[in-house]
């Protein structure tokens, strides 16, 4: 299982925990005892239990996100940067809600509103990460049936320069000597395959250049990479 798929599966359970927490809260506060089909005691347990699961998954997912951010550095995409900002706001609001519930009960009337804000932020954070991941997978499946154009004429690349470029920009996420997943797929035999490992597009020079400029899934974009460096990198990839 790839790093991004694993994180996205965790995010599904994270969102489900948020849904259970908000529904149990709304049932407790928005319905009378006669209208409820579930006892207030059970709803409180559901809210508390889902809150623990939600917080635990938030911490685990945040760890993986920080680890990924440390690897890619300033090459993080705009979408990923937005995801980070939203996640930080979510953590701050959640911590404030916990503090109010535990220690500052005079502000307890604000807890339901903060719970709703946490849920809205959770859904938005999920959409910018796991939701985006699954949408790109669906898009790739439809693209895989399209007829790919033959590769265009390329600038002459230098294998040695390409290897140095790979080691500085790609090695942290991809193996060059095997096909196993690191953070992204291993690139051994990348241009000898029928399909690229993640996007499932035809394995040719044009589609690798497309992946560098407008990457599939969570790979950072290398749109600013000069054409000569792209050619050098491709020259090296051909040797793997």
Give the whole-number percent of the chain exceeding pLDDT 90: 26
Q: For the chain, which residues make up each domain, given as ranges?
A: 3-143, 159-237
Residue 147: the pLDDT is: 45
Distance CA(114)–CA(110), nearest Å, equals 6
Asked if CATH classification 1.10.760.10 holds for the domain at 159-237, the reply, yes or no, is: yes
Residue 161 near residue 168, CB atoms below 8 Å? no
User: What does the pLDDT look like over 1-45, one tens digit per residue?
Assistant: 566 778 788 889 999 999 999 999 988 888 877 777 888 899 999
Q: 8 or 177: whose pLDDT is higher? A: 177
Considering the chain, what percentage of its residues have pLDDT values greater than 70?
Answer: 85
Average pLDDT, the chain: 83
Q: Which of 136-145, 150-159, 174-183 has the highest mean pLDDT?
A: 174-183
Angstrom distance (rounded) from CA 81 to CA 11: 17
- pLDDT for residue 220 is more than 80: no
Local structure of 195: helix, strand or coil: strand
Residue 107: band (very low, low, confident or very high) from pLDDT cuts 50, 70, 90: very high
Q: How far is CA 196 from CA 7, 129, 200, 209, in A?
A: 21, 22, 5, 12
Band of residue 57 on the pLDDT scale cut at 50, 70, 90: very high
3-state secondary structure of 223: coil
Using one digit for the tens of pLDDT, what is the confidence trace for 74-96?
Answer: 666 777 778 888 889 999 999 99
> Of 18-27, 106-115, 136-145, 166-175, which gets the smallest average pLDDT?
136-145
Query: What was the pLDDT predicted at 19?
Result: 95
Q: How far apart are CA 133 and CA 192, in angstroms?
A: 26
Helix extents (H) in the chain: 3-30, 40-72, 78-102, 111-126, 132-143, 159-169, 205-213, 227-237
Residue 146 has pLDDT above 60, yes or no: no
> Measured between alpha carbons, how far is 168 from 64 in angstroms, rounded to an integer?
22
SS3 189: coil
pLDDT digits (tens, 9 = 90+) for 151-176: 555 578 899 998 998 888 888 888 88
């Amino acid at each position: 299982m790839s790093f991004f798929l694993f994180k996205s599966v965790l995010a599904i359970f994270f969102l489900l925990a948020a849904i259970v927490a908000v529904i149990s809260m709304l049932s407790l506060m928005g319905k009378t005892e006669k209208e409820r089909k579930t006892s207030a005691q059970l709803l409180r347990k559901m809210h508390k239990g889902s809150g623990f699961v939600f917080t635990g998954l938030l911490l685990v997912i945040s760890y993986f996100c920080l680890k990924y951010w440390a690897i890619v550095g300033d090459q993080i995409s705009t979408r990923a940067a937005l995801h980070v900002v939203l996640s930080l706001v979510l953590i701050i609001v959640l911590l404030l809600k916990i503090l109010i519930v535990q220690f500052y009960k005079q502000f307890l009337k604000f807890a339901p509103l903060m719970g709703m804000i946490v849920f809205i932020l959770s859904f938005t954070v999920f959409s910018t990460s796991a939701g985006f991941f699954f949408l790109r997978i669906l898009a790739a499946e439809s693209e895989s049936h399209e007829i790919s154009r033959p590769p265009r004429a390329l600038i002459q690349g230098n294998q040695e320069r390409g290897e140095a470029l790979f080691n500085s920009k790609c090695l942290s996420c991809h193996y060059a000597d095997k096909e196993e997943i690191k953070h992204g797929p291993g690139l051994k035999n990348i241009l000898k395959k029928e399909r690229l490992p993640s996007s499932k597009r035809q394995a040719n020079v044009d589609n690798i250049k497309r992946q560098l400029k407008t990457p599939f899934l969570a790979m950072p974009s290398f749109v600013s990479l000069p054409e000569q460096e792209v050619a050098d990198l491709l020259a090296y990839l051909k040797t793997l």
